[in-house]
Structure 1
């Protein structure tokens, strides 16, 4: 059996172990109310089981990482599948460290689903081993990417703790203006999470159906001598094309629910041959997310936040606030080293300049400035509690846009990572 086969199996094992660990953490937190044993004893028992299973999952993912490294011949962080997988592993490393400090089963109940979602999202991308492009053929790849991801992993744990804090303190029984505003924003945050989950489910559903559609698009370019060159570009869809590429013709399209041709054409101002496909993915994600949210609301018959809130009764909000702050405080210097200092050193070696205003560089700086502001407001202005939690949630949204949005939407020197 080759290293890559072992790696693939270890990836699947890690995914399912994380799912089971989440279930055990949920039993530890929610089951204490119905257990015949003393609640604290019940939580300790199931927390130990859950943490043991999550540790086994981390061991399986470490096996995935090193066996893929052995099979590929280079550190597996060179494309979106590998990097997002590594981020999921880094989140589990960060969670393990924070959990050993605070022993909070509730943290596992919220961090493990985040890890599962991220690993499932990684599986959306092509999993074949790809040769390194010249810019990645450097030892700084190991240093820059791993430390940046580890810093972002601690931000993810801070996000989970911040979201828990909001679910604990936002009172859905209040009707005054400030309370209603907090309820709406918290519910919107949960909706966004469901949109991501729905996107993953939709991708795998259509992949299982082996759905395909393809379009031909004529692209006209003018070289330096003023000569016009016309090329026919092929764009392949793996989801039914609600939106087709601009100025394109259908080459092949499987019918879906009676839809035999695209409903709309991407606007002309959307540049790039794949712009229509990306817009189509966004449309499907929003539609599937709205459907999933509606089904959950129908099942719960109340806002999702209001349904989760009672499970957090008895949890000290100050503990969650402390975990949020400590996680970000640990991650910030690690992120500073990896995403800024090591990145600039590598940029100077690869491209002959420390800074070039590449979109990924700009958004890494925005992320750093955001968390700098978080720490400043926390330490100097006393921003604790709800304001601190909202900053932690918003900050991780910025992180995810830096990782995913920039690679897949904005063209730049880091676009190879989105292949």
Structure 2
């Protein structure tokens, strides 16, 4: 087995494990939500018959709460282990690709996709060590599964030498931070989407009824918003460095800091959107749904910068779509 085959095999293995992890995370959410609903129903029944007060769980409540903990725990264990092993295989695939290409694997859309999806999963695992964010697991592993699947089937390109414009140490400085930010903002995006869904459910919106019962296992909209804000704040600082490093690299490569290249323009648009989000959130009192939608708009611009701009716009960064 050569390095190319190792990279492809491990990345397909990671894709498979992420898909299994996504299902396991979803099952865990569903079972935790069912347990919470059953526990509340048992409490209401106990209060109705005078068997217990709301402050003291009844025997029925305790039975409902313990009826399926082993099943939920089993799903959580499978989700956690498959995510971690998938990330390990993903890392091996990335390293093997870099060895095969002879440079860091960030020179085209295929390499950027497999790198960005890895950093999304890695960010989730790092955050998970500090606080319980298992409710984000289904979204993170789901996006990683789709990203890797598209990379392996649609975007794949054989390893090649770097174009002259990329033969610089600034590739490591500039693109590494951009890939890291992409992963971090992906996790934040999932939190914002869950925030909107949870807020809609709490406000009684009809479409978030029984079909989205899993939201019972998700924290409050306020907690999700706080998590998203912290991640976006870190992402904004890193994206600012990305834009600045790109400008310095442009001056070294092309003799100017800024030239209104499509990639440069969209990078600035992303910066403006996240700056507006942070400004509105911290000084203008924007909270709740408005801030979540603004954060989602920033992430949509990030994805557009990677897909639409790379594929359909001509400029000095055209090599990024190859």
Shorter-chain TM-score range: 0.7 to 0.9
Structure 2 partner of 1:137: 167
In structure 2, the CA distance between the partners of 1:90 and 1:314, relative to structure 1 (3 Å rule), is closer
Query: Which of 275, 285, 296 is the aligned partner of 1:372?
Result: 275
Structure 2 partner of 1:201: none
Structure 2 partner of 1:150: 180
Structure 2 partner of 1:23: 23
Question: Are 2:142 and 1:113 aligned?
Answer: yes
Does the CA-based 8 Å contact 2:135-2:217 persist in structure 1? no
Question: Are 2:253 and 1:350 aligned?
Answer: yes
Q: Structure 1, residues 58-110: CA drift from partner, whole Å, max 9, x if none? A: 11111011111111111111111111111111111221222223312211122
Does the CA-based 8 Å contact 2:30-2:213 persist in structure 1? no
Provide the C-alpha distance between the structure 1 equivalents of 2:2 and 2:17, rounded to a whole number of angstroms: 23
Matched residue SS, 2:307: helix
In structure 2, the CA distance between the partners of 1:385 and 1:151, relative to structure 1 (3 Å rule), is same
Q: Structure 1, residues 238-259: CA drift from partner, whole Å, max 9, x if none? A: xxxxxxxxxxxxxxxxxxxxxx
Q: Structure 1, residues 293-313: CA drift from partner, whole Å, max 9, x if none? A: xxxxxxxxxx6x556532102
**Normalization by structure 1: what TM-score?**
0.65
In structure 2, the CA distance between the partners of 1:45 and 1:399, relative to structure 1 (3 Å rule), is same
**Normalization by structure 2: what TM-score?**
0.84
Q: How much has 1:130 moved relative to structure 2? A: 2.5
Pairing of 1:268-347 with structure 2 (within 5 A) = 308-315=211-218, 316-338=220-242, 340-347=243-250
Matched residue SS, 1:313: helix
Provide the C-alpha distance between the structure 2 equivalents of 1:329 and 1:409, rounded to a whole number of angstroms: 30
Provide the C-alpha distance between the structure 1 equivalents of 2:114 and 2:129, rounded to a whole number of angstroms: 23
Q: How much has 1:314 moved relative to structure 2? A: 4.9
Q: How much has 1:335 moved relative to structure 2? A: 1.7
Runs of 5+ in structure 2 lacking a partner?
36-63
Q: Structure 1, residues 315-343: CA drift from partner, whole Å, max 9, x if none? A: 322221122112212212122212x1211
Does the CA-based 8 Å contact 1:22-1:108 persist in structure 2? yes
More strand by share: 1
Does the CA-based 8 Å contact 1:25-1:105 persist in structure 2? yes
Does the CA-based 8 Å contact 2:267-2:305 persist in structure 1? yes
Q: Structure 1, residues 350-380: CA drift from partner, whole Å, max 9, x if none? A: 1111111101001001101110111111111
Q: Structure 1, residues 7-34: CA drift from partner, whole Å, max 9, x if none? A: 1101101101111111111121102326
Question: Are 2:121 and 1:92 aligned?
Answer: yes
Question: Are 2:308 and 1:405 aligned?
Answer: yes
Does the CA-based 8 Å contact 2:29-2:217 persist in structure 1? no
In structure 2, the CA distance between the partners of 1:41 and 1:344, relative to structure 1 (3 Å rule), is farther
Question: Are 2:131 and 1:102 aligned?
Answer: yes
Structure 2 partner of 1:14: 14
In structure 2, the CA distance between the partners of 1:74 and 1:368, relative to structure 1 (3 Å rule), is same
Does the CA-based 8 Å contact 2:102-2:161 persist in structure 1? no
Structure 2 partner of 1:75: 104
Q: How much has 1:48 moved relative to structure 2? A: 3.9
Per mean C-alpha deviation after superposition, the further-off stretch among 12-21 and 127-136 is: 127-136
Per mean C-alpha deviation after superposition, the further-off stretch among 152-161 and 42-51 is: 42-51
Structure 2 partner of 1:359: 262
Q: How much has 1:139 moved relative to structure 2? A: 1.4
Structure 2 partner of 1:274: none
Structure 2 partner of 1:46: 75
TM superposition outliers: structure 1 runs of 4+ over 3 Å: 34-46, 171-174, 305-308
Aligned length: 291
Matched residue SS, 1:77: coil
In structure 2, the CA distance between the partners of 1:102 and 1:342, relative to structure 1 (3 Å rule), is same
Pairing of 1:172-183 with structure 2 (within 5 A) = none
Does the CA-based 8 Å contact 2:185-2:231 persist in structure 1? yes
Q: How much has 1:36 moved relative to structure 2? A: 7.4
Does the CA-based 8 Å contact 2:30-2:217 persist in structure 1? no
